[in-house]
Amino acid sequence: MHALILAGTLLAMVIALLAIRARARLHPRTTSLDLENDAAPPAFRFARGLGPSPAAAAFARALLRNPRAVGACCPSSVRLARTVAAAVDPSAGGLVVELGGGTGAITAALLQRGVPPERLVVIERDPSLASHLKRRFGEVRVIAGDARELASLLARRRAAARVACIVSSLPMMSLSRGDARAIGAQICAVLEHGGLLVQYTYQMGFAHERVPACLALLSAKRVWVNLPPARVEVYRHDG
Ligand SMILES: C[S@@+](CC[C@H](N)C(=O)[O-])C[C@H]1O[C@@H](n2cnc3c(N)ncnc32)[C@H](O)[C@@H]1O
């Protein structure tokens, strides 16, 4: 798994360098690789998130520090972020809690989808990525902490109101079995009955043993435009 992540990282770096060189030639004045910047040409939009922005640098550092916890060679693509956000009903009421915010690709898509910033809580374990998220999303509650302590993190921040939806970027397959079980138990404890978990994975098959017993699978959708391709799974808390 580590070898795969490292190989993916090298591949991502090569693609990023090619994208940066192409961008410099085509758009010498373009400096932003923001999700909101849809004026960028398709090649940039595909490679967005891979450039040497502060976010990408923080992501690369987090990956080098703890490859198992990051579990991906690069941030989520715009297509993946939008597919994840599309599964969230912004009018459902209650909190939307994002686990493993990383560089904020999914956070930005959730805000674009219409989730009010005051109803969004982002948990990120890596301190430099958490600082980046706080800077990038001033109005969103970003908690630098571990999803294994989700319930107490939310309670401490007085954010223990109804949790209608959990959006997870956590690499459940590369985390240890114990960590995956602990996080699953926290998800079951804080998510309201009928609430949704939206989780993406790079795994080809379903890993039922990593899904907490309180959740029932509602849908799964493959997203090819991501490195690597991902599957977005939606679960409902059925108790
Ligand atoms: C696949 S990356 C997230 C990618 C993110 N969607 C993006 O586009 O940048 C997984 C993230 O989960 C975080 N993470 C891993 N284990 C965690 C835990 N137990 N609690 C909170 N965050 C965790 C990692 O630090 C990393 O930022």
Cβ neighbors of 238 (< 8 A, separation 6 or more) are 193, 214, 215, 216
Comparing CA positions, the residue from 153, 167, 173 lying closest to residue 96 is 167
What is the residue with the minimal CA distance to atom 14 of ligand 1?
Answer: 100
Question: Token pair of 47, please?
Answer: 């490679």
For the Cβ of 109 lying below 6 angstroms from any atom of ligand 1, the answer is: no
Q: What is the pLDDT of residue 206?
A: 72
Q: Are residues 128 and 103 in the same domain?
A: yes
Q: Are residues 145 and 99 in the same domain?
A: yes
Q: What is the pLDDT of residue 46?
A: 47
Last residue of a domain, one of 69, 100, 127: 69
- For the chain, where are the E strands, in sequence order? 95-99, 120-124, 141-144, 163-168, 191-201, 215-223, 230-237
Q: Give the distance (Å) from ligand 1 centre to CA of residue 23.
A: 28
Q: What is the pLDDT of residue 12?
A: 55
Tens-binned pLDDT, residue by residue, of the chain (239 aa):
555 554 555 565 555 444 444 444 444 333 333 443 444 444 454 455 445 588 888 899 999 999 999 999 889 999 999 999 999 999 988 999 999 999 999 999 999 999 999 999 999 999 999 999 999 999 999 999 999 999 999 998 766 578 999 999 999 888 999 999 999 999 999 999 999 999 999 987 777 778 888 999 999 999 999 999 999 999 999 97
Last residue of a domain, one of 69, 96, 124: 69
Q: What is the pLDDT of residue 211?
A: 86
For the Cβ of 77 lying below 6 angstroms from any atom of ligand 1, the answer is: no
The separation between CA 35 and the C-alpha centre of its own chain, rounded to angstroms, equals 14
Q: Are residues 211 and 100 in the same domain?
A: yes
Q: Are residues 136 and 188 in the same domain?
A: yes
Q: Which of 33, 77, 106, 125 to mutate to test the pocket of ligand 1 (most atoms within 8 A of CB)?
A: 125
Q: Among the atoms of ligand 1, which is closest to the Cα of residue 175?
A: 16
**β pairing state of 191-201 and 230-237:** antiparallel
CA distance to 95, 125, 146, per residue, from 158 (Å): 12, 19, 17
Q: Are residues 83 and 61 in the same domain?
A: no
Number of domains in the chain: 2
Cα 183 from Cα 200, distance rounded (Å) = 15
Last residue of a domain, one of 69, 86, 108: 69
Cα 72 from Cα 86, distance rounded (Å) = 22
Cα 131 from Cα 134, distance rounded (Å) = 5
Instruction: Tell me the CATH number at 224.
Output: 3.40.50.150
Q: Are residues 130 and 65 in the same domain?
A: no
Strand-pair partners of 215:
237
Q: Which domain holds residue 28?
A: 2-69
For the Cβ of 122 lying below 6 angstroms from any atom of ligand 1, the answer is: no
